[in-house]
Structure formats: C-alpha cells, structure tokens
Structure 1
Amino acid sequence: MVQLAKVLAIAAACLAAPVVAHPGEKHDPHVLKRELHVRDAMAAAGKRSLGGCESTLHARELAKRNVARRSHTVQKLRQKRGITSTPQKYRRNLAALEKWEAIDHNRTDAYQHGLINQESIFGANTSCILTPTVTDGPYYVWGEVVRENVKEEEYSDGIDVHLEVQYIDINTCRPVPGALVDIWQANATGVYSGISTSGNYAADGYNSTYLRGIQQTNEEGVVNFDSIFPGHYDGRATHTHLLTHLNATMFPNKTLEVGSGSVAHIGQLFWNEILRTAVEETYPYTTNEQAVTTNADDMWSVLQADASYDPFPEYMYLGDNLDDGLFAWIQIGINSTADYTDNSYYSIAAYYDANGGHENEDSGFVGGGGSGGGGAPSGSMSSMPSSSATASASS
C-alpha cells in the first residue's frame, strides 16, 4: 500500500511540474490534500459496504452470471477472429512493479482452449474495489458518438482491446442499469481526437471523433467497448478515461439532453507496465516519439491506487500473440447519489453536435481561458456524427 505521505509528495511534485500534453491541468495541492483524505475514507467505506454483501443471494448469482458472460464473450471474440490456437502463457514480472500494482491481473495463462477454467479466470472479485473520482482531464468532449466500436478507419490502428466495464452501486451492492458511460483515450501515437490545442493537434481538430464513444449500461450494469490499447504521451502514464452520467436523458435520435442527469463518477483505467511495454514493441506504437511516464510517476494513477481500490483491469490474450487482441474487464463501485457536475475536476473542453465539433470557450483547460468549472455549455448537443466527421490526428 502506498503511504499517503508518499502519495501527497509525488502529487505535489507532479502538480508543480508542467505537463506538456495536458496544458492547463493544474490543481491546488492544498485542496488536493484535503480531498485525498476524504476520498481515502470514502473508498474504505465503499469497500466495506460492498464487502458486506458478498454473501447475499443476489451477489452470488451476479458473480455466476459474470463468469458465464465473460467466458462467452471470449469465445465469441476468438471465433470472430478465427483464433484456434491456445492463448500464450504470459507472466508478468511482479517483482518489477510497485506493491500496489502487484496484483496479477493477467488471466491468460489460466485459459485452456477446450477446457475453460471459467471460475478462476472470470470470477475475480473486483466488486468490492472502489475506484475514486479523479479529474476528467482537459480533453473531455460532450456529445460523443453513441456506439460500442469506437475505432474508425483512420488513426485507430493498434492492438485491439474489447473492454467490459461493470458498475456496482456501493449503496445497494447491485448493478447500475441505464447509466451513460463516456470513454475516450489517446491513439497509438498519443493523440486525442476532438481537440486542437498546444500539446494535442488532431488533424481534423474538433471534428474528429476516433476512440471516443458512449454506451448505456444494461440490466447487469455492463457496458462494452471495442477499442485499442491506448498510446502514451508526455507527462501521463498510459490510461483510458471513463465518465458516468446517471439519469441523463437520451432522445430517440441519440441526442443527449444538455445538462440532464448527474455526473456520478469520473475515472481513469491504467495499464500494467509489462503489458504496455509489450504493446509498444508493435507498430504503430513504435512510431510514438513522446516520452513515456510510468505508473509510479503518474500523478493520477498514484492517487487512485490503494488497498481500497484498483484502477488496473483484468485482462487476457485472445490468442498466442498480441496481434490477436485482448479482452479486458473491470468492476467499478460508484456512489449513485454523488454528483460532480459542479466539481472543478469536471471540465468540458469541447462539444460535438450535428454541425461538428466546437471548442467550449468557457473551459479553462483548452483555449478559452475561462474559469475551468464544470457544467454543460449551452446549445443542443447531439451524439450523432455529422456526415463529414472522420477520424484523424497528427502525431
């Protein structure tokens, strides 16, 4: 477990240093220190809350359904890709990792083609692990495309990842259906779509949409995304952004009502260093010339990782090499009564509607020089792409 003092020291150092790829992402270290204490207590309480209902009938039944669903997903993914080989047994060097990262999330070596040990692979109990809210960063776009497959024809090359995320309410220990979940990440060369500013110039600027999307959780609290393993960029460890809206209104034409619902969770998933290194030995990750930041040196992964929460997804190789892709999954405990809409960590850099992408001039993170507060910008925002919107970026 990382000592809180160490966390604060690293966080303060990171906050004091400029972050090239996230211009304007700054937070008061004194405020951050206070919030860390609060979040640490909330995470511990959430873990106890979820842990106390593990033996209930509905929790045991949910666990069984999770095992069956994940096993079925892997079989479908392998069949779709025509994979018949046994996945390779890939073991991480745990001694090389920080203690808080030393949980072995790699389930590849437990999978035997034709004889699936489903419980040992897919039954990992992550439901009592609370992922605390952290900043959404300066590149959040309101009005992303409602879709499961966030890959596009251009600028989405990389190692395929099928990601399953399940949301559990820490107050009831039950799945959270109907939540709208945003996902966004950098491409293999470390560039985000939908943003055009110093440190991140997408070729089509605000009109680009690759590796961004929204899905609604089903009755099991589950969303699925087809994406790629994210690329790295200066100042941040490799990560995937998630943001969860509750009670938001989605119109039949897939338009999200502006300002509806609450922001119940803002989080980031991080990826193991050994896996990242293996991925980045493949093309086009090898063309990424930006500096690498390890998990231990990242300001937000350090803040998230503790005994009470785990920001690293479980994963397994679908075949005998990375080119066959990965299946990754994680459960996230959220407080369904929380609302971070007016929190300083929630900032909308841009929005995407039927007319394309537009900068949010009220955002303090990107270009506008505003206050950097949360809340949706005015005007109608559609989740449907315009006909001219294509994926593009520069590296």
Structure 2
Amino acid sequence: MVQLSKLIAVAAACLATPAIAHPGEKHDHHAVKREVYARDAMAAAAKRSLGGCESSLHARELAKRNVARRSRTVQQLREKRGVTANSQKWRRDLAELEKYEAVNHNKTDILGYSPATPESVVFAANTSCILTPTITDGPYYVWGEVFRQDVKEDMYSDGVDIHLEVQYIDINTCRPIPGAVVDIWQANATGVYSGISTSGNYAADGYDSTYLRGLQQTDKDGVVTFDTIFPGHYDGRATHTHLLTHLNATILPNKTLEVGTGSIAHNGQLFWNEVLRTAVENTYPYTTNTQSVTSNAEDMWSVKQADSAYDPFPEYIYLGEDLDDGLFAWIQIGLNSTADYTDNSYYSIAAYYDADGGHANSDSSFMGGGSGGSAPSGSMTMSSSASASASVSS
C-alpha cells in the first residue's frame, strides 16, 4: 500500500449574488435562490430514500466492487504512466462539513494515512450520493458529441490530466443504473469551451471543435469513466465540470443519440475544492489564463451548505507526488430514474454536432435555458471521429 496523506478541505459555501459569466449565462438572482433551496430540499428527500436501502445486501456488494475497481484503476493508471513515487490521497470528511454553516476555505487539516490503512478506507468514500439535477447546463451544451472515453485532443487540451469515474445510483433502490448515456463538457485550461463560437467564447474552429466533450454509457455497475483535464476557470463562475445524463435514449448504429428519445434524468455540475484548484492553476498552461477567478463561495450555483445530502465535490487522489503524474477522481451520484428534466427551463441546447460538423441551434437564445430543452429540428448523423483541431481565445 502506498504512503497516503489526507486533506480535510471544508467545502461549504454561502450563496452569493450571481455574477455574469459567459454571455448568455444570465439568471435572475431570486430565481436562482429559489432553485438552490429547491435543490437542497430534493437532496434531503433523496438522501432519506437512499437511507432505506443502503444497508441491503446488493448495496454492500456494490460498495465492495467499488473499492476493488477504484484500487485497480489507480494501480493501472500508475503503471501506464510509469509512476513509482508514493501517491497522495486528498479527502474531505463529511462529518466536518456538517459543522460549518459558512466556511473559510483556508481552514484545512492534514492527516496522515499509514501504509497499513485499508483500501476500503481510501476508496470507499463518496463525496456525494446526491447531486440533484436542478443546476443549469449553461449556454454551451452541444447535442451530438462523439462517444469516447478520452475527450482530450491533440490541440487545446493541455493541462493536469484527470481520470474521472462517475457512478449513478437509483435513490429508490440503491442499485446501479446501467445503460445511461452521460455527456461531459468543460472549459479548457484557458477557460474556453469547444463547440461554440460567440462573443465571450470564440473557438478558432468554431462549432466544429470538439475538445473536452464526449459521451459514454454506464456499465452494469452504473459507472462511466472519462480521461480529461482539470477544467480552467472563467469570469463569473467557480471552476466546474458539466454532466448531463440521458435515460432510455436510442443509440443509433453510428454511435449517435437519436433526437427526441429518452429522458434527461440529471443535469448538474461537479465543483473542485479551492486547495486543488489553486495548486493546478500554479501550473502551465493554467498560468496563461487571464480571466478573473471566482471562488466556490462566490459562485451563484455553489452549495449553500455542503453536507452528506448535497456535496458536489469529487474525491481525488494524486497518482504520484505531484500534479505532473495526474489525478484519479470519483463521485457517486444518486438519481431518481423516473424524473425527466427535458422540459426544465435550465436545459438548453446551444448547438449540435453531426456529419457536417457543428452548427448553432437557431432555436437557442444562449440564455442557459431560454428555449427549454427541445432538440434541434431535423435528423442528425454524427461523424464517427471528432475533429482534433480546435482553438481558443482567452
């Protein structure tokens, strides 16, 4: 067992007046406040549902498989990268989070793991069984991205590597959700999204660019994995990663999603703690990002109080001694599999990607939900490979 170190990074944050991020991501402060309170209430209710089944035999067996899989993944990632140095485990204690209504993010406590620490202690932890889908997808969601596990491309994907594992659990049964299709997208190290070309977010290849976007389908344990990078920040938003989950969507033979099929069961964002963000942004190319930094406490969608019911911060481990060796991060998300947020005002399709490349959705107002969740008209056939040339401006 490698030598590990443990960091308790208290991650609760106070609701702040929303700042305008990329153009289009504009929200009424009072509406946002109502949504945040509704999200918290949903999280508490879902946590109670999970409490009724989390001690069941199938839930315990799933937990054991999680430990074994995560341990195996870290070993494989270290071997692939040729890492021999000891790795670091940075973990937050949820019991500590519950003690704080508002938090000074500099209050941290370093605790040491010994080589004898069981893997069950290291890899069983989940920062959240609940990540309620009431958070905006922002103005830059693209329908029709490529099915791929590695969303990094040759250009504009430089940064700190992350192997991200996301597991989806049904809150009513504590069973995994297989067959879900999961979208991931995020800004690159200089704070720019691919697939969009509009004021405030110009990609040199415009709507044809696809870096740091992709789709994967959950396995029998409800797990998807993505190879990506730590996201960059941009004006008005805390550093975050977008996730959107489709249930019962039809996957066509050319590995595309058929328009209008399935439901949107989750639409949320992962946040990253300030200690890790600061460490990452002291490295290149994050140091070239000239946009203003917004902390978790200042973010309009950040948690009002992180606790065991709502905690959108993934667990993570340094694969080696420093960030050059990359990170392994994981989170478990509880879903109500009968919910459908397709018509939610915060679900908006900004563009789509097909065999002819990327196209703006003419029905979208780039308002983070102004047009609702209706899919673009007409059929889409997506090319089997993503464009490897995408550019940014910052």
Structures share a fold, TM > 0.5?
yes
AA aligned to 2:255 is K
User: Partners in 1 of 2:141 and 2:299 — Cα distance?
Assistant: 19
Q: Which residue of 1 aligns with 2:80?
A: 80
**Equivalence map 1:211-250=2 (5 Å):** 211-250=212-251
Query: 2:255 maps to what in 1?
Result: 254
Q: Secondary structure at the match of 1:323?
A: helix
Q: What is the match of residue 53 of structure 1?
A: 53
Counterpart amino acid of residue 374 in structure 1: G
- Which shifted more, 286-295 or 50-59? 50-59
Distance change in 2, residues 1:100/1:350 (3 Å): farther
Residues 47-71 of structure 1: CA deviation (Å, up to 9, x unaligned) = 0111221211001000000000000
Q: CA deviation at 1:187?
A: 0.4
8 Å CA contact 1:47–1:130 kept in 2: the answer is no
1:218-367 to structure 2, matched below 5 A, reads: 218-302=219-303, 305-365=306-366
Which residue type is aligned with residue 302 of structure 1? V
1:71 aligned counterpart, secondary structure: helix
Residues 242-275 of structure 1, C-alpha deviations (whole Å, 9 max, x = no match):
0000000001210210011000110100001011
Partner SS for 2:297: helix
Aligned counterparts of 1:129 and 1:110: Cα–Cα separation in 2: 27
1:328 to 1:125, Cα distance in 2 relative to 1, 3 A = closer
Structure 1 counterpart of 2:4: none
* 2: CA distance, partners of 1:249 / 1:338: 18
The 5-angstrom pairing of residues 1-395 of structure 1 reads 7=15, 10=16, 13-14=17-18, 17=19, 19=20, 21-88=21-88, 98-99=102-103, 110=113, 112=115, 117-126=118-127, 128-302=129-303, 305-365=306-366, 371-384=370-383, 390-395=389-394
2:49 alignment partner AA: S
Where 1:256 maps in the other structure, the secondary structure is: coil
More helix per residue: 1
CA distance in structure 1 between the aligned counterparts of 2:198 and 2:171, rounded to whole angstroms: 38
**Contact preservation (8 Å) 2:209, 2:388:** yes
SS in 2 for 1:77: helix
229-238 or 377-386: bigger deviation: 377-386
Contact preservation (8 Å) 1:207, 1:352: yes
Give the Cα–Cα distance (whole angstroms) in 2 for the partners of residues 352 and 279 of structure 1.
Answer: 31
Q: Which structure 1 residue ranges, 5 or more long, are not aligned?
A: none
Residue 364 of structure 1 contacts residue 373 of structure 1 at CA under 8 Å; is this kept in 2? no
Hey, what's the Cα distance between the residues in 1 that align with 2:308 and 2:104? 7
Pair 393,128 (structure 1): closer, same or farther in 2 beyond 3 Å: closer
Contact between 2:237 and 2:294, CA under 8 Å: does it hold in 1? yes
> Measured at CA, do residues 182 and 128 of structure 1 come closer, stay the same or move farther in structure 2, by a change above 3 Å?
closer
CA drift at 1:33: 4.1
Q: AA paired with 2:173?
A: T
Q: Deviations over 1:275-301 (max 9, x none)?
A: 111011111111111110000000012
Unaligned runs of 5+ in 2: 1-9
> CA 1:260–1:103 in 2, change beyond 3 Å: closer, same or farther?
farther
| Code of the aligned partner of 1:327 | F
Once the two structures are TM-superposed, the CA of residue 386 in structure 1 deviates from its matched residue by 5.9
Distance apart, 1:41 and its partner CA: 2.2
- SS at structure 1 position matched to 2:264: strand
Please give the alpha-carbon distance, in whole angstroms, between the structure 2 residues aligned to 1:386 and 1:132: 30
Contact 2:353 2:382 in 1 (8 A): yes
Q: Is the CA contact 1:147–1:215 (under 8 Å) kept in the aligned structure 2?
A: yes
The CA deviation string for residues 359-388 of structure 1, in whole angstroms up to 9 with x for no partner, is 01111117xx99432211012224435675
Q: Secondary structure at the match of 2:330?
A: strand
Q: Aligned pair in 2 of structure 1 residues 105, 126: CA closer, same or farther (>3 Å)?
A: farther
**Mapped contact 2:265–2:339 kept (Cα < 8 A):** yes
Q: C-alpha separation between the residues in 1 aligned to 2:30 and 2:79?
A: 52
Q: Deviations 1:212-262 (Å, cap 9, x if unpaired)?
A: 000000010000000000011111110000000000000121021001100
TM-score for the superposition, normalised by structure 2:
0.88
Q: Which has the higher contact order (CA 8 A, sep 6+)?
A: 2
TM-superposed CA distance for 1:391, in Å, is: 2.8
Deviates more, 1:168-177 or 1:217-226: 168-177
The one-letter amino acid of 2:149's match is: E
Does the 8 Å CA contact 2:349/2:361 hold for their aligned counterparts?
yes
SS of residue in 1 equivalent to 2:303: helix
RMSD of aligned residue pairs (Cα, Å): 3.1
The letter of the residue matching 1:275 is L
Relative to structure 1, the CA distance from residue 320 to residue 45 in structure 2 (aligned partners, 3 Å threshold; closer, same or farther) is same
User: Given that residues 207 and 389 in structure 1 are in contact (C-alpha distance below 8 angstroms), is that contact kept between their aligned partners in structure 2?
Assistant: no
